Amino acid sequence: MTIGKNIADLRKSNGMTQEQLAETLGVSSQTVSKWENEVTMPDIMLLPVIAGCFDITVDELYGGRKTIEKRQTIDYDDIPEMLYDAVIDLTQRGWVDTVEGKDIETEKEKMKSYLAENRQVKTATFSNKKGAVIATSEIGLLHRGKANADQLMYEGIGRVLEVLSKSAVRRIFAYQMENMTKPITAPYVAKKCDISPDEAAQALEMLTEIYVNHPTDVMIDENNSIRMYALNSDESIMYMLMILKTARLIDENKQHYYNYRGSYNNLWIQ
């Protein structure tokens, strides 16, 4: 099949008229007609533009696919849910594939519904070689490979956990998460979180120390200033959320599993 016939097939598959394709390319409809009827050939410099109109490569344009497989576009807002679905899919396949008569899609939906209705329940797949996957109604945790326990002895970890153990720190962080775009001062957030101004000031400095907040000193007059705090980047926020959510899982932990597979006896052996 010639490139002219390919263009015609691609145009029709995309529901385009010759006039619409011509307008997109900046040529006349007569020119498109001549290409498709093999009276003339498009200039080689125009081929990438033509291919782009159909969301394909130049090689595919020459190859003459009769139907177009549209590239899937993914909204950034959908990515977390897609990744969570992948975790659910992975853990369920580790279970369903070994049980005769089970349908994977049905079991995935049953598991997601059950986890959503029973927050204390989780699903887990452990491996003595490649780590573990644990899923709850809110979190999909993936641990790849075997961890070296020495990594857990890093001194900075202790300070981060110490900061997050403070009730005032968590109260202020929770308030900031609900009001992410609003800078705050210690006296202001103290009232909002029902803590003392001194507790608020100390907590805000701790959050700054672990890179969750950043402070700005604003001059009120020639001799006085006030310190304002705002949340840092999303990366710092997400780290903190994952630490706190995981800590809550540990605190609430009971051996309630929708499904559990494998052994974790050697997860930490290098």
Q: What percentage of the chain exceeds 90 in pLDDT?
A: 26
Using left for φ > 0, alpha for ψ between -120 and 50, and beta otherwise, residue 40 falls in: beta
Mean pLDDT score, 75-79: 81
Does the pLDDT value for residue 218 go beyond 50? Answer: yes
Q: Give CA–CA dist 48/54, Å, rounded.
A: 10
- Reported as a single tens digit per residue, the pLDDT across 167-207 is 999 999 999 999 888 889 999 999 999 999 999 999 999 99
Mean pLDDT score, 141-145: 76
> What's the domain range around 204?
151-237
Residue 142 and residue 173 share a domain? no
Sign of CA dihedral 48, 49, 50, 53: positive
* Contact of 165 with 220, CB cutoff 8 Å: no
Can you give the C-alpha Rg of the chain in angstroms?
29
Residue 203 and residue 130 share a domain? no
- Reported as a single tens digit per residue, the pLDDT across 79-135 is 888 888 888 887 777 666 556 667 778 888 888 888 888 888 888 877 777 778 888
Does residue 37 lie within any of the structural domains?
Answer: yes
Does residue 245 lie within any of the structural domains?
Answer: no
Confidence at residue 66, expressed as pLDDT on a 0 to 100 scale: 43
Sign of CA dihedral 10, 13, 17, 23: negative
Sign of CA dihedral 94, 99, 103, 109: negative
Give the chain's domain count.
Answer: 3
